[in-house]
């Protein structure tokens, strides 16, 4: 049972979880999830959306769910994206500060075995958008990213062959020339295009392990190390933006795979053998590296 305690509102949404949920609890409370999946094969991901997120004011009734409770609510009560859509039609999402000094602006990306969607928060209310490409990053809203893909038609995994131009033979300089011009910076639009390109060009996985490994290789391209992106902190000093963790949700195999910034060891939670009889938070050491495995040659 969850009282929606993040809300601090006595009349907010209360719910009983029907399905087991595993995820990343970035703010300390078990129901304040920023990433996760459930035993029915639905996953949810809380992605930062500065300047493109407006939560509603609380209505002070049982439709109120805070943004930081939303993943726990949807994963605990929905077994498909169709049920997610129905649930979103009956709630009011408002902003709650989980200790950051403000309500973190975000959108939710959600997946099941049949498809993907995004839940985004506009001034007039939240919007559920089908996501035909299955990838997402950060601002702006998803429809903009989908339109932006039109700027990159014609790119291909095939290395272009030599061409004769004005009597001169022109040959691609190295492999990968079919994608020359793809954006390489770390802005959300650039990362969206790269993620779409990598997913679209991937081979069909043979099994769950194959899918997990292919996904890991793709996500490695978006692992941001310290020093690459810096912004001014409250004291004016630069603060590194890093990739705190990486997760893979195997929706059919019911496996939740993760890796943290401080430990590159890839770990997995098998939801089929997880005890969901109680709610608990298990600390993850994100600073100590487990060490490289020695090899004798």
- Position 133 scores a pLDDT of 98
Straight-line distance from the first to the last Cα atom of the chain, in angstroms, rounded to the nearest whole number? 55
- Position 290 scores a pLDDT of 61
- Position 295 scores a pLDDT of 75
Residue by residue, pLDDT tens for the chain (297 residues) are 676 655 455 678 999 999 999 999 988 888 899 999 999 999 999 999 999 999 999 999 999 999 999 999 999 999 999 999 999 999 999 999 999 999 999 999 999 999 999 999 999 999 999 999 999 999 999 999 999 999 999 999 999 999 999 999 999 998 999 999 999 999 999 999 999 999 999 999 999 999 999 999 999 999 999 999 999 888 889 999 999 999 999 999 999 999 998 888 999 999 999 999 999 999 886 555 666 777 788
- Position 8 scores a pLDDT of 54
Residue 148: how many other CB atoms lie within 10 Å:
16
Residue 174: how many other CB atoms lie within 10 Å:
8
Report the DSSP beta bridge partners of residue 112.
115
- Contact status, residue 28 vs residue 42, Cβ threshold 8 Å: no
d(CA 272, CA 288): 29
pTM for the structure as a whole: 0.92
- Position 144 scores a pLDDT of 99
- Contact status, residue 49 vs residue 118, Cβ threshold 8 Å: no
- Position 26 scores a pLDDT of 85
- Position 136 scores a pLDDT of 98
């Amino acid at each position: 049972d969850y009282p929606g305690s993040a809300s601090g509102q006595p009349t907010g949404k209360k719910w009983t979880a029907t399905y087991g949920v595993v995820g990343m609890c970035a703010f300390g409370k078990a129901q304040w999830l920023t990433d996760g999946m459930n035993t029915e094969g639905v996953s949810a991901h809380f992605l930062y959306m500065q300047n493109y997120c407006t939560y509603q004011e609380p209505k002070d009734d049982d439709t109120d769910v805070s943004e930081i409770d939303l993943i726990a609510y949807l994963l605990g009560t929905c077994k498909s994206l169709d049920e997610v859509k129905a649930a979103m039609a009956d709630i009011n999402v408002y902003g709650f500060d989980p200790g950051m000094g403000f309500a973190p602006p975000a959108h939710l990306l959600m997946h099941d075995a049949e498809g993907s969607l995004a839940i985004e928060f506009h001034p007039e209310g939240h919007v559920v958008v089908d996501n035909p490409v299955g990838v997402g990053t950060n601002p702006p809203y998803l429809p903009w990213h989908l339109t932006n893909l039109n700027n990159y038609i014609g790119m291909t995994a095939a290395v272009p062959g030599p061409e004769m131009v004005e009597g001169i033979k022109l040959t691609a300089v190295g492999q990968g020339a079919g994608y020359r011009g793809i954006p390489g910076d770390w802005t959300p639009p650039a990362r969206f295009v790269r993620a779409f390109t990598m997913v679209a060009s991937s081979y069909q996985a043979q099994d769950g392990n194959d899918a997990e490994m292919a996904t890991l290789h793709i996500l490695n391209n978006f692992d941001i190390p310290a020093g690459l992106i810096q912004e001014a902190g409250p004291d004016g000093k630069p603060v590194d933006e890093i990739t705190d963790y990486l997760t893979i949700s195997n929706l059919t195999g019911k496996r939740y795979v993760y890796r943290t910034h401080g430990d590159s060891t890839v770990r997995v939670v098998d939801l089929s053998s997880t005890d969901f009889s109680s709610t608990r938070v298990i600390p993850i050491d994100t600073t100590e590296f487990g060490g490289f495995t020695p090899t004798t040659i």
